[in-house]
Structure 1
Amino acid sequence: MKRGALLTKRILQYAGRQQHKCGCSVSTMPPCDFKPDPYTGISFEDAVKVRKNNLSPALFTYYRSPLMIHQGYMQWLFDHTGRRYLDLFGGIVTVSVGHCHPKVNAAAERQLKKLWHTTNIYMHPKIHEYAQKLASKLPENLKVVYFVNSGSEANDLAVHMARMHTGTYEVVSLRNAYHGASPHLMGLTAISTWRFNVPSGFGIHQTMNADPFRGPWGGKNCRDSPSQTIRDCDCAAGECKAGDMYYEQLEDVLRFSMPKGRCGAFFAESIQGVGGTVQYPKNFLKRAFAKVRESGGICISDEVQTGFGRTGTHYWGFEGHDVIPDIVVMAKGMGNGFPLGAVVTTPEIAAGMGKALHFNTYGGNPVASAVGSAVIDVIEEEGMQQNSHEVGTYMIQEFEKLRDQVEIVGDVRGKGLMIGVEMVTDKASRAPLGGDKMGDIWEHTKDLGILMGKGGFFGNVFRIKPPMCITKADADFTIAVFKEALEKCT
């Protein structure tokens, strides 16, 4: 074997068996031939001081022993010491095709050398090329694109557009939903931990969250997921009594809380993200959309986390519900980490925005448009939607096996690479697992080399939403790490 090949082999072997901080053993981390640059930046100790003294006190830090991430490559992250981690959270479901994907990087670099920014009042090629490409990915008459910089901006604009179009101020969202934390959106977001004690949410109402696992109603065949809940029900095939009950709650809100029963808009995620990867009973959204439209409203689909192939079976999460929204909002994976968001709607709804001047300084700027266009190309060329379906389904099924073996694993749910694992004290009560125990497991998985998110109202749901380039070997490593963390911490 030549010296260079031997060196490469040794690097891969070392990468696979890197020492865990906790000193325990676990299945070998899948190899990676990428070598991070030596870290030369601010010291960890000085960064801690800056974080305390110069950044927002509301900025929380993951893990008891926090990480300082230095570099990323595809599904991998490297800390300032050079240690490698499998990123199962993708920068809060933001890195879609992989950290620093070469094709996306190259698109950004080419555009940076040509034109960083110019106002969209001038015509520049990239925004027009990208808008056409993006619109081609959406069904029917969803053809008009408004580019913004984040999911919060997109949701804020969508609410405004709905009110302008319908002439009705009242908007309905679901409890346990997260749609942003801006002052205007705090009313749309119905998770109290994200809401400040200030006036918010004027004209916004919430209906009961259609959660088959933690809600008052749910059964064993409710969800469009490879994994169903552990709850029993007496529904016949094709029926869902739980869905009927949640739908009646929505009817009740529309009947009593709307002006003369008239609704302006209904806002829903295809699968709730921050709320803990919650999926609704089958056909709930389809019936809800029909009822809202019957009440004069329009339907808005929040695809900030579920769009761009992440759910596997479809490019957009709403397609899995057999619905077509009137407005679609998107961000996060849209730019693979670059600040980029959009609202896409019909020409009829878009016409309402012509009643006054409307402009976004950075939305759709040349670099953002080049990056977004490259992301769409990579998803198609590298089959990442199909990979999400195959690897995600495999991972859900493996987590489901673990659920059946371990008492505190209460629920496994999701589609594609939008996965949630809800932890409980016991399956009979479904009481949320406490924060200390959740923290022990979470910290241990980090020490073993994987980074997961955490969410749900009680903070008891592990959120697994990695870059869509992960492999089955990565999934096997994840399951092995999670199993060892449970054995160590329970």
Structure 2
Amino acid sequence: MMRRFLSRRLIVLNSHEGLRRGISRSAAATATEVENATITPKMPPFDYAPPPYNGPSAADIMKKRLEFLSPSLFCFYKKPLNVVDGKMQYLFDEDGRRYLDAFAGIATVCCGHCHPDVVEAIINQTKRLQHSTVVYLNHAIADFAEALASKMPGDLKVVFFTNSGTEANELAMMMARLYTGSQDIISIRNSYHGNAAGSMGATAQSNWKFNVIQTGVHHALNPDQYRGVFGSDGAKYAKDVQEIIDFGTSGRVGGFISEAIQGVGGIMELAPGYLPAVYKSIRKAGGLCIADEVQSGFARTGSHFWSFEAHGVVPDIVTMAKGIGNGIPIGAVVTTPEIAEVLTRRSYFNTFGGNPVCTAGGLAVLRVLEKERLQENAFVVGSYLKDRLKGLQEKHDIIGDVRGRGMMLGVELVTDRQLKTPAKSEILHVMNQMKEMGVLVGKGGFYGNVFRVTPPLCFTKEDSDFLVDVMDLALSRL
């Protein structure tokens, strides 16, 4: 009894001594410490605890990675995160610590990590048949193609399955060239379409382009509403495409490829009026219009199922991946029956495209999106989150721009709002601070100074509040 009393007494004396010493510090420093200690945001409750992890540590994994994996690989954060478990909008590290995932594996996990309906579909199909190739019949690929076609406008109803977005864009551009007989493809500066031969040519950021032969692609002025010379006047940017056709080609083109919202480019939404004007010019020159929906498709933008729909256009070819499978390696190209016929001129084949496990999982994803009304949630919660981020912009001068729609939002950091000087080092510091407080976000843009906020579509308003409060505190600590 006496021992416990003396222990409590010692704690009180130490506290008083600490307080006495603290008074000698600067009042401002002490106030800041107290404020930071008392307002650290609290993560929303979540009824799930991962099983104990008994695998190798982050240090052991990094050692193997450095020895056996490509040296081109990179990690976010000063102390790389070892992710071992995931559930809906949350991820867990090797110690069981929970993180709010606002990046979703680069805009890929749409339904939520390990969604039970998707997992069940994958397991059931895997138990029955893992692989057969399309030279045999199997209902999984046909069922998913039918469901996917029902989501497309116009006469877009023939589906070719691939393994990735890069592969989908490669196929789409080849089809456009075959159909039109023209080799010239026009894409937009700041775009990203993949890292294979053709798609790297269409990509227009030096960060993602190797010094290898890339031919037949012209890069048009980017209709960038934040940094662009014409602001939000899409029609003025579109004139550059017409000039490329007039002066840089024979007057006939194979096609035009674009994202309606540039993902890797920093969540840059194309200026209003741009796509309708460009589509008109391209079609007049005999070309096809390709919509790259790899990141922005599958209800992510909330207002529409496909991001091109917000611009009032109907493409000739649509490419997709990422959200199509909630993390399963699958992509697709959807086009019209007439355009699809070009692949019958020779033999076109893809060993894994349309794999029954992947397509069964993809069909489950579509059903979850509909059953849980995740497009509506992306719109409602995404609008709420964007409003809160706009409020943060008013508080912190370092936030130069907040943009995007639904669950595809960008926050650009600049050291000078007038000059729009990219805050390259500051964003790294903020990212690390946010990770330490339990929030994971992406990073992109040509200068690497844009937060890419692309969470699973099951994100809630409570999650949004936590994310913004954490970002607010991290920015306050700069």
TM over 0.5: yes
2:359 to 353, 362, 369: 369
SS of the residue aligned with 2:289?
strand
The CA distance in 1 between the partners of 2:425 and 2:318, in whole Å, is 38
Question: For residue 64 of structure 2, what is the amino acid of its counterpart?
Answer: V
Secondary structure of 1:106's counterpart equals helix
Q: How does 1:360-399 map to 2 (within 5 A)?
A: 360-399=350-389
The equivalent residue for 1:268 is 258
Q: Which residue of 1 aligns with 2:398?
A: 408
CA shift in 2, pair 1:482/1:396, >3 Å: same
Tell me if 1:145 matches 2:159.
yes
Deviations 1:135-176 (A, max 9, x none): 011011101000011000000000100001000000000000
Shift in Å, 1:209: 0.4
Q: Is the 8 A contact 2:261 2:307 kept in 1?
A: yes
Q: CA deviation at 1:23?
A: 7.1
Residue 158 of structure 1 pairs with residue 172 of structure 2: yes
What TM-score do you get using the length of structure 1 for normalisation? 0.89
Q: 2:95 and 2:448 mapped to 1: Cα distance?
A: 29
Alignment of 1:273-422 (within 5 A): 273-422=263-412
Distance (whole Å) between structure 2 residues aligned to residue 46 and residue 300 of structure 1: 44
Task: Name the residue aligned to 1:480.
Answer: 469
SS in 2 for 1:423: strand
2:49 matched residue in structure 1: 35
Helix, strand or coil at the partner of 2:219: strand
Residues 1:26 and 2:15 are matched in the alignment: no
Q: CA deviation at 1:24?
A: 7.6
Structure 1 residue 25, shift from structure 2 partner? 4.6
Matches within 5 A, 1:83-232: 83-200=97-214, 202-218=215-231, 222=232
1:231 alignment partner in structure 2? none
How much has 1:437 moved relative to structure 2? 1.3
Aligned-partner Cα distance in 1 for 2:37–2:123: 42
Counterpart check, 1:257 vs 2:248: yes
Equivalent position amino acid for 1:252 in 2: E
Q: Distance in 2 between matches of 1:25 and 1:439?
A: 22
Match of residue 51, structure 1, among 59, 65, 72: 65
Distance 2:240 2:394 in 1: 32
- Note if 1:467 corresponds to 2:441: no
Q: Is the 8 A contact 2:235 2:277 kept in 1?
A: no
One-letter amino acid of the structure 2 residue matched with residue 68 of structure 1: N
1:237-248 to structure 2, matched below 5 A, reads 242-248=233-239
> Greater helix share, 1 or 2?
2
Q: Distance between the aligned counterparts of 2:225 and 2:198, measured in 1?
A: 29
Question: Deviation per CA, 1:166-223, whole angstroms, max 9, x where unpaired?
Answer: 00000000000000011332111101001111212x10110010001011221xxx3x
Number of positions where the alignment pairs a residue of Structure 1 with one of Structure 2: 443
Q: Deviations over 1:284-310 (max 9, x none)?
A: 111111110011101000000111111
Q: Describe the superposition over 1:372-429 as per-residue Cα deviations: whole angstroms up to 9, x where unpaired.
A: 0000000000000000000000111111111122111000001100100011112111
Within 2, Cα distance between the matches of 1:87 and 1:44?
19
Q: Distance in 1 between matches of 2:328 and 2:272?
A: 34
Going from structure 1 to structure 2, the CA distance change for 1:292 and 1:176 (only over 3 Å counts) comes to same
Q: Which amino acid aligns with 1:92?
A: I
Corresponding residue for 1:427? 417
Distance in 2 between the 1:381 and 1:365 partners?
Answer: 24
Q: Distance in 2 between matches of 1:277 and 1:63?
A: 21
- Please give the alpha-carbon distance, in whole angstroms, between the structure 2 residues aligned to 1:44 and 1:313: 40
Kindly report the root-mean-square deviation, in angstroms, between the aligned alpha carbons of the 2 structures: 1.1
Report the CA distance between 1:37 and its aligned residue.
1.3
User: What CA distance in whole angstroms lies between the structure 2 residues aligned with 1:45 and 1:406?
Assistant: 36
Task: Report SS of the residue matched to 2:262.
Answer: coil
Distance 1:211 1:281 in 2: 7
CA distance in 1, matches of 2:291, 2:473: 38
Partner-residue secondary structure (3-state), 1:424:
strand
CA spacing shift, 1:45–1:23, aligned 2, 3 Å: farther
Gaps of 5+ in 2: 1-35
The one-letter amino acid paired with 2:397 is E
Give the corresponding residue for 1:439.
Answer: 428
Q: Is the 8 A contact 2:58 2:80 kept in 1?
A: no
2:13 aligned partner: none
Deviation of residue 334 (structure 1)?
A: 0.3
* Separation in structure 2 between the aligned mates of residue 339 and residue 119 of structure 1, nearest angstrom: 15
1:45 is displaced (CA, Å) by 1.7
Residue type of the partner of 1:257? G
Report the Cα offset of residue 76 of structure 1.
0.2
Q: Give the distance between the partners of 2:211 and 2:340, measured in 1 at CA.
A: 34
Runs (4+) off by over 4 Å: 22-25
Deviation at 1:279, TM superposition (A): 1.1
CA-CA distance at 1:244 after TM superposition: 2.9
Match of 2:24 in 1: none
**For 1:342, what is the secondary structure of its paired residue?**
strand
State the 1:91 CA deviation. Answer: 0.2
**Aligned-pair distance for 1:43?**
2.2
Cα distance in 1 between the residues matched to 2:229 and 2:38: 41
Matches within 5 A, 1:67-82: 67-82=81-96
Report the Cα offset of residue 41 of structure 1: 1.3
Distance in 2 (alpha carbons) for counterparts of 1:23 and 1:356: 67
